[in-house]
């Protein structure tokens, strides 16, 4: 998938409904891209009674596993437009199918399917629980698809981070600095939790001076330092870090360091750290 999840939608030209295969364009003229229908949660739950979506979800999943890409796209659109199911059942079936994809590697799911799910036009809207005048999807397929992409990016970054820690810790710091995707940062940080002490020491030593001029390294440098109790690098991260990353680092340090080390870190940062960082250190470490 070119290392990142594709986001383009290419719909197939036919829809399969039961034993009949009809042109998608003809079906669209009959049913139309139905606008989302307002429901209340009680009536939507009632509409689901007696509708067995599990066999359809299982069939969609099997089509994915076997690589029947064209038939899978056709079947997804067939479920969305299925006239004998109420809208909540259609949306729930697509949502449940989306959730099954979390068990599969990213490269086993066609990019067209991911894009379809990211652009899925929800059929069932219900009042927002806190703001009833607003309408929200009852079964949010788009959000589930976005979470799926986040998971795959994080898993890919975890493997990349582990490989870099073994062969080139400095390369991991470079990649963390360049990358903007939060899911990738999360994967790199997860790799630290599974690293050897020697790998962490190498990374911590490399980032000790770099974090002074590259504050965005704070999460990586600080976490590596904390895991091996490298206090000089931890101090540098607190002194030169920025934003929420410093707060999270100090919170973790408060729970992982001994009292003496916490007070030593606090003493060393009070006179040199940015005023906001110093205030955070007092509030968190004292």
- Looking at residue 36, the DSSP 8-state letter turns out to be P
d(CA 116, CA 141) in angstroms, rounded, equals 10
- Which residues have a Cβ under 8 Å from the Cβ of 135 and sit 6 or more positions away? 36, 38, 125, 126, 127, 128
Place of tokens 């490399």: 206
Whole-number pLDDT of residue 285 = 79
Q: What is the DSSP string of 61-130?
A: HHHHHHT-HHHHHHHHHHHHT-TTS-HHHHHHHHHHHHHHGGGS-GGGS-HHHHHHHHT----EEEE-SS
Q: 10-residue block means of pLDDT along the chain (286 residues)?
A: 32 30 33 64 94 97 94 96 96 98 94 96 91 91 97 97 96 96 97 97 96 94 96 92 88 92 85 70 80
Whole-number pLDDT of residue 256 = 94
């Amino acid at each position: 998938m070119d290392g990142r999840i594709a986001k383009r939608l290419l719909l197939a030209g036919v829809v399969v409904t039961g034993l009949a295969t009809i042109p998608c364009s003809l079906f669209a003229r009959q049913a139309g891209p139905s606008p989302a229908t307002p429901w209340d949660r009680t009536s939507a739950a009632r509409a689901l009674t007696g509708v067995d979506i599990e066999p359809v979800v299982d069939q969609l999943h099997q089509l994915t596993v076997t690589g029947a890409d064209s038939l899978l796209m056709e079947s997804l659109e067939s479920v969305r437009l299925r006239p004998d199911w109420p809208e909540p059942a259609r949306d729930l079936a697509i949502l449940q199918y989306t959730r099954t994809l979390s068990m599969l590697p990213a490269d086993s799911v066609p990019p067209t399917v991911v894009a379809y799910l990211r652009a899925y036009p929800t059929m069932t809207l219900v009042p927002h629980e806190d703001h009833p005048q607003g309408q929200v999807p009852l079964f949010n397929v788009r959000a589930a698809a976005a979470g799926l992409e986040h998971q795959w990016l994080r898993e890919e970054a975890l493997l990349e981070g582990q490989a870099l820690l073994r062969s080139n810790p400095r390369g991991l710091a470079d990649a963390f600095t360049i990358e903007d995707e939060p899911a990738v940062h999360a994967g790199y940080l997860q790799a630290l939790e599974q690293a050897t002490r020697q790998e962490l020491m190498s990374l911590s030593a490399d980032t000790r001076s770099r974090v002074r001029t590259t504050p965005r390294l704070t999460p990586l440098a600080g976490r590596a330092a904390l895991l091996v109790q490298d206090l000089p690098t931890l101090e540098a991260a607190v002194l030169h870090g920025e934003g929420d990353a410093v707060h999270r680092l100090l919170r973790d340090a408060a729970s992982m360091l001994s009292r003496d080390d916490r007070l030593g870190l606090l003493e060393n940062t009070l006179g040199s750290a940015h005023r906001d960082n110093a205030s955070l250190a007092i509030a968190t470490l004292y």
